[in-house]
Structure 1
Amino acid sequence: MNIKILCVGKIKEKFYRDAIDEYLKRLSKYASVSVIEVSDEKTSENASDTEIDIVKQKEGERIFKHINERDFVVALVILGKQMDSVSFSKYIENLGISGRSTIDFVIGGSLGLSDDILKRADFQISFSKMTFPHQLMRVVLLEQIYRGMRIMKNEPYHK
């Protein structure tokens, strides 16, 4: 299985990079996982709705360059479906069983994802109704994918 984490913006903080690198290392025995960063757009503090839409559209266009037609796209959004870790694991496993060889998880920037990305998404998932920094969301997503892989293989993992 191939997993791509498509995300807006670069990670500057070393502690986030260290955590991401650790989960990528752990995941390497289960799947091919890559993190693809696209540049974020600068946004003024008091941006209008139109400016916000333009920013999300530009970031979305950058994300689209990394999505292949056959990829299964999962958008991370607050209003998406919430799952527990076991259900998430079964969901990923079922995608693999059904022949989906590449799953793209998409994490937007500080303003979220463009409407075009949301329309392209095959599934929308939420890890919480709370808002998280997109840098932290990468770590949480990778940890849950790792946990899901351990569950699939019936390997022990902290509950």
Structure 2
Amino acid sequence: MKITIISAGKLKESYLREGIAEFSKRLRPFTQLDIIELNEEKMPDAPSLAEKEKILLAEGQRLLKRVPANDFLFVLDVYGKQISSEELAVKISDLGLNGKSNLSFIIGGAFGLSAELREKADMKISFSRMTFTHQMVKLLLVEQIYRAFKINRGEKYHW
């Protein structure tokens, strides 16, 4: 299985980079993980709704261009379905069993996601109704993917 995480915005905090590096290392026996970070689009102070939509559209198109062909596309979206760790594990397992061995996850930038990007998703998921920085979500996502593989192998995944 190959998993690609594509995000708007680069990690700035060392503790987040270290956490992602740790879970990426733990994932190596289970899957190939690629993380692609694109620069966020610049948003003016107090943009109009039309300006915001135009900028989100451009950012969304850049993110979508990096999704490998035929990947199953998860989009992390505040309006997505909230699922448990076990449900994510089942979804990943089911996709693999049905011939979908390449998965992509998109994390939008600080200003959200375009409607076009949401429409292209095979599945929209939300980690919580709470708001997290998109940088923190990247760490949470890598940890949850690791947890999914541990669950699917019947291994202990929390204490």
TM-score range, shorter chain: over 0.9
How many aligned positions are there?
A: 159
Give TM-score scaled by structure 2 length: 0.96
- Give, in whole Å, the separation in 2 of the partners of 1:68 and 1:139: 22
CA RMSD of aligned residues (A): 1.0
- Give, in whole Å, the separation in 2 of the partners of 1:13 and 1:57: 27
Give the deviation of 1:142 after TM superposition. Answer: 0.6
Q: Which runs of 5+ in 1 are unaligned?
A: none
**What code does the residue aligned with 1:26 have?**
R
Q: Does 1:118 align with 2:114?
A: no
Q: Tell me the residue number matched to 2:45.
A: 45
Q: Does 1:109 align with 2:109?
A: yes
Q: Tell me the residue number matched to 1:2.
A: 2
**What code does the residue aligned with 2:30 have?**
Y
Q: Write out the 4+ residue segments of structure 1 that deviate beyond 6 Å after TM superposition.
A: none
- Give, in whole Å, the separation in 1 of the partners of 2:68 and 2:26: 26
Q: Does 1:137 align with 2:147?
A: no
- Give, in whole Å, the separation in 2 of the partners of 1:27 and 1:74: 18
Give the deviation of 1:97 after TM superposition. Answer: 0.6
Aligned to 2:53, the other structure's residue is in SS state helix
Give the deviation of 1:25 after TM superposition. Answer: 0.5
- Give, in whole Å, the separation in 2 of the partners of 1:71 and 1:95: 10
**What code does the residue aligned with 1:39 have?**
N
- Give, in whole Å, the separation in 2 of the partners of 1:20 and 1:67: 20
The percent identity for this pair of structures is: 40
- Give, in whole Å, the separation in 2 of the partners of 1:51 and 1:139: 30
Q: Tell me the residue number matched to 1:17.
A: 17
C-alpha deviations, 1:17-68, integer Å up to 9, x for none? Answer: 1111111111111100111011111112311111111111111121122113
**What code does the residue aligned with 2:79 have?**
L
